[in-house]
Amino acid sequence: MKVSIFSTCLVDLMTPKVGIAMVEVLERLGCEIDYPASQVCCGQPTYNSGYLEDSKLAMKNMMLAFESSDYVVGPSGSCVAMFHEYPKIFKGDPDWELKAITLKEKSYEFTQFIVKVLGITDVGASLDGTATYHRSCHMTRLLGEKETPFQLLEHVKGLHMEPLKNSDNCCGFGGTFSVKMPDISEQMVDEKSSCVLDTGADILISADMGCLLNIGGRLSRKGEPVKIMHIAEVLNHRNPVIAKGGSQT
């Protein structure tokens, strides 16, 4: 199965390890990886700020970039949810509406693709530790995907999950909201960080890098040693195996 990677501009600029982990997991599950190099950004930063026409340029670029893809898979519920909004945005546009619908129909968030398209819930990962999971608002509410991350995490050997209080409250990122209304955003991320700390977990997992940069950045500022992991990194993690002879492989 050929899978086109939608790496997202945030992973491109800030966290390459997430893209690498995603590719390694998908290959291990038998996917053939394709990377359309003309992709840039889904257009969400400008769209959510109200700059519709400027955003449409980015959106059109993405529709063209993935035009010949069979499946488009991204490590972000939020960015994939943006793809899913395209048909509404280009409704009635004779040149782009069909392209928008086609892209929506073949786009999946990473965990969603593994569970719903590949039909796999155990990817053979193992990670020793206690973790908690932050649901991103856009993945949960706009993409409507609530369960697949938990179905996958359940099968990660050695990983103990702690529930996060008020998990349905936003972390305060909201794209440009975090820099346009920094005082409010700060209070939101502060409360979220406290909830993370209350779980006692040493790892915070999410399927969206935006939220993780936000909560992780706050925890780091407060000097808290909670480790931040994108779910692709968790699913790509395998504890070293002790071979019979005693040496590590």
Partner 1 sequence: MSLQTDKRDFSERTTDGLGDSFMRNAVGSAQDSLKTRRLSAATALGDWEQWRTAGQQIRQHTLQNLDYYLEQLAGNIEKKGGHIYFAATKEEASSYIRDVIVQKKAKKIVKSKSMVTEEIELNHVLIEAGCELIETDLGEYILQMDDWDPPSHIVAPALHKDRRQIQRVFTEKLGYTDDESPEKLARFARKVLRQKFLEAEVGITGCNFAVANLGAINLVTNEGNGDLTAAIPKTHIAVMGMERIVPTLAEMEVLDNLLCRSAVGQKLTSYITVMGPSVAGDTDGPEEFHLVVVDNGRSDILGSEFNEALQCIRCGACLNVCPVYRHIGGHAYGSIYPGPIGAVITPLLGGYDDYKELPFASSLCAACTDVCPVRIPLHEQLILHRQNIVKENRTGSMERFQMKAAGRLLSSPALFGKTLRFAHPASRLMSKHGRIVRGPELIQGWIGARDLSQPVKQQDSFRAWLDKRKGESGE
Residues found near partner 1 in the complex (CB under 8 A): 7, 9, 11-16, 18-20, 23, 35, 37-41, 43, 45-55, 57-58, 60-61, 65, 137-138, 141-142, 166, 168-170, 172-175, 177-191, 213-214, 216-218, 220-221
* Residue 175 Cβ vs partner 1, minimum distance, rounded to whole Å: 8
Nearer Cβ to partner 1, position 136 or 159?
136
The candidate with the shortest Cα–Cα distance to 15, out of 221, 184, 217, 172, is 217
* Residue 32 Cβ vs partner 1, minimum distance, rounded to whole Å: 12
* Residue 82 Cβ vs partner 1, minimum distance, rounded to whole Å: 11
**Phi and psi, residue 177, nearest 5°:** -55, -40
Nearer Cβ to partner 1, position 62 or 201?
62
Nearer Cβ to partner 1, position 129 or 175?
175
Nearer Cβ to partner 1, position 123 or 219?
219
Nearest-angstrom CA–CA distance, 57 and 207: 26
Nearest-angstrom CA–CA distance, 234 and 204: 10
* Residue 159 Cβ vs partner 1, minimum distance, rounded to whole Å: 25
Nearest-angstrom CA–CA distance, 248 and 226: 27
Nearer Cβ to partner 1, position 74 or 156?
74
* Residue 51 Cβ vs partner 1, minimum distance, rounded to whole Å: 4
Nearer Cβ to partner 1, position 37 or 241?
37
Nearest-angstrom CA–CA distance, 73 and 22: 9
* Residue 198 Cβ vs partner 1, minimum distance, rounded to whole Å: 14
